[in-house]
Amino acid sequence: MERPGPFLRCVAPWLAVAIVARLAAATPAPGPSIGFALQALAIGAFATAWMRQVALDEQPVRFGFGLRALLVAVIYQVALMFESFPRPFLELLLDGIKDGPMLAVAGVQIFQLLIGCFFLVLPHVALSKKGEAGGNRLQLMVLAGGLGVGLGYVLCGLPFLVMNMLWDEAAVTLPTEGLPGVAVDAVRLMISFAGIGVASAFFAQVWMVLQGVNPFVNQTPPADTEADSEPKAKRTERLNKLTKKK
């Protein structure tokens, strides 16, 4: 992380909200639903604020929340569900095979490599100015990014995936109730938010590079001909003279 200070100032309030959401999720209904929604909103708000700070150098408003953050939160949760779609099928297919769970994780990573470019919708929503979100701009940026964006997304998340797996193994022997359980969940959230921060910064920088790029047009426009460069008034006058002569 190149800028740990701004990152910590940006992530701290939303990490606190996510921890509160985990506590709410442990209460009776409708606690789990409230906790899930609150955590999703915290992730969306943090990702939006961090992308805007990385790409636009915009200072985040503490606990600031708007329509962009709401859209990013919803899109991100849908994307997470979509990218984890192959996992249960791979686990079922590889059941009984040695290292089957690890192979399933590797299969999900390959799937993320293929669909990673579609995550550019997140910076598109978070960073686009008013009036820029329409048209085919996003489609062109996705095509321009291609597998390179997917590879970057996988590499950004890989260290945090390993840390999560190691922490899950270590947390098996730790208590899950009371304050110790909250501490265990807090560590998971810290790892998760760190991964989201790195991925958000990556997508924001890619978006800044790709914005305005058209993969289908890679040629300089033809030079204006003499007739095209001639002022319209002079062309009209010349045509009128030719008409009178006839």
pLDDT digits (tens, 9 = 90+) for 23-63: 888 788 788 899 999 999 999 999 999 999 999 888 887 77
| Three-state DSSP class for residue 132 | coil
Q: How far is Cα 235 from Cα 237, in angstroms, rounded to an integer?
A: 5
pLDDT at 220: 44
The predicted pLDDT at position 133 comes to 58
C-alpha distances out from residue 231 to 154, 224, 226, 236, Å = 54, 12, 10, 9
Question: Cα dihedral angle (20, 22, 28, 34), rounded to 10 degrees?
Answer: 70
- CA atoms 81, 84, 88, 90: torsion sign: positive
pLDDT at 209 over 50: yes
Q: What is the count of structural domains for the chain? A: 1
Mean pLDDT of 67-82: 92
Domain that holds residue 108: 4-245
Percentage of the chain beyond pLDDT 70 is 81
Tens-place pLDDT, residues 114-146:
998 899 999 999 988 766 655 567 788 888 888
Residue 223 has pLDDT above 90, yes or no: no
> pLDDT at position 212, please?
59
Q: Determine the average pLDDT of the residues in 166-173.
A: 87
Please state the φ and ψ torsions of residue 95, each to the nearest 5 degrees.
-65, 130
* Cα–Cα distance for residue pair 177/184, rounded to 1 Å: 10
Regarding predicted confidence, which is higher, 179 or 159? 159
